[in-house]
Every structure is written in C-alpha cells, then in structure tokens.
Amino acid sequence: MNYFGYLKKENLSTLSPDDKISLFLSKNLYTSSKVLNLPTNTPVNLLDPVNFKIVREPIKELLNDYYEYITSKYQEHIEHLLIDFFHSFNDLVFAMEDLEAKKIGRLHYLRIANSIQSPNLDIVRMYENATGIAKVKNASKLELYSIREDVLKIRAIQEYPKGLDQFLMGNSKHFNNELISEIPILEEIIQFKGDLKILLALNDEFLFEEFDFNYAPKIENNNSIKTKTNNTLPLSQIPDTSLPMPTEEEMDQYLLEYVFSKKD
C-alpha cells in the first residue's frame, strides 16, 4: 500500500504528540502492545498491570513505504555516490590482472561493509559436521547490511518524526535538497544506500559472497554436513580470531608493494 498522502486532509503539525499517536492508531498506522518489564532477581506478578508498559510503534508496511519514499526522493544523490566511487575505482584497477583487481575490490568491500556503526554487530552460526567437529560460519556482509537497513527504517521515523508527518500529508516539496544537510538521519540513509549499491556492484563483479534479492546470502546445502545445532551468538561471546580491518594506510601500502612495484 502507498501511504504517501494517506492523511492529506489532516494538519498533523497542529496536533499534540499524544493526539497524533491516537490518530495513527485509529488509522491503523501504528500498533499498541503491552511489554513486560523484567526486574533483575525479583519475582514478577503477571497479573499486575504496573509491571507492563505500553509500546506504540509504526506498522511494518508504513516503515517500508516511508523508507522507500526517502530513497526514491534522493535517488540522484545515491547514484552520485555510486558513480563517484567507480570513477576512481575503475582508474585504479585499469589494466590490472583479474586477481589483483579482486584484491583491491576486496579491501574496499570490507572497508565499506564494516563502516556502519548502527547497530555495531556481528553474527556467527555454530553447527557440527557429520564427524561431530564444531564449525563456525560468519554471517555475510550483505546479511548484516540487511539487518542494519531494518534499523534505519525505524530510526528514520524516530529521529525525524516531522518527515513522517509531511509524508503522510503528501507534502513532497518538504523533501528538498537543503533538508539533507539539516537532518542527519536523511544524510545517513543516502550514504547507506549508496554504499549498498557499491557493495552489490563489487560483489556482482568479484563474487565475494552469495545473496538473494533481499541482500541475505544463500547458504548452499551440503549433503556431507549434518547440522545438529544452529545457534546465533554475538561476536562478543566467542574468541576474537578475526583479522583487523585494513586501514587506509595499509591499503596504500598494499598498492605500493604489490600493485605498482616493479616485478623482476
């Protein structure tokens, strides 16, 4: 459903926050639910309403539609990020051997994929093979990007509720270019979508990892592996054996030593 202009007959700017939420609830744009507060080491009476709090949040369809509107409205800025990156990247890998170009692409892929800080997370999946040996598989970069994009959709409303009001009232002129520098979350969304386009293009070129149209990678079934467990753990709960993220200086040094240096 397209929610742009859904409340075009309403003047949302004149409503108090409580009245606005009540309107959103009555129009089925928001849902209301009770969430249990769990105190530490204290018995909880599930029949006492004091132990519950009311949470009101936008429905998923509204989150998706508003986010898609923003990215569509600023599509030109997003495309510029893609063009600027590959204008430099194409010159950098010009006439390189495929393997050398892939190494450079990998460094940029990791740099971009690991630059997102909200939420700052990683995921590993643990399972056992047919002989009982424990195996660990990292979530792909594109899968983590998909999770972060869901968070951005929520933050778009939380951090700039006025934008949602203008969207629901059908005021397209509100979302002008000047607004980008004024509203940090809009600038962050544009950068995120530009980076995502770059990642998808690099991955299409060099096949770093598999993914589907929702950016979540496909995990191939291996008949020789019998999965007994499929636990998801935060990275903080396993030993840190990952390689550090390459810095810009390390990337420059790599280029000097292995790409532009003379070979015998």
Pair 7, 169: CB distance under 8 Å: yes
Phi and psi for 140 in degrees, rounded to 5?
-70, 160
Q: Which tokens sit at 196?
A: 């995502």
pLDDT recorded at residue 145: 85
pLDDT recorded at residue 130: 87
Q: E-assigned strands of 204-263?
A: 231-234
> Per residue of the chain (264 residues), what is the pLDDT tens digit?
799 999 999 999 999 999 999 999 999 999 998 776 666 666 666 666 666 678 899 999 999 999 999 999 999 999 999 999 999 999 999 999 999 999 999 999 999 988 865 556 678 888 888 898 999 888 888 888 888 899 999 999 999 999 999 999 999 999 999 999 999 999 999 999 999 999 999 999 999 988 654 544 333 333 333 333 333 333 333 233 333 444 555 555 544 554 444 444
Q: Which tokens sit at 152?
A: 């951005």
Q: Check residue 5 and give left, alpha or beta (phi > 0: left; psi -120 to 50: alpha).
A: left
pLDDT recorded at residue 139: 81
Name the DSSP class of 174: G
Q: Which tokens sit at 148?
A: 């972060």
Longest pairwise C-alpha distance within the chain: 80
Q: Which tokens sit at 171?
A: 């005021």
pLDDT recorded at residue 36: 67
Contacts of 98 (CB under 8 A, 6+ apart): none
First-residue to last-residue Cα distance in the chain: 63
Helices (H), the chain: 17-26, 60-73, 75-92, 98-113, 141-158, 161-168, 178-182, 184-206, 248-254
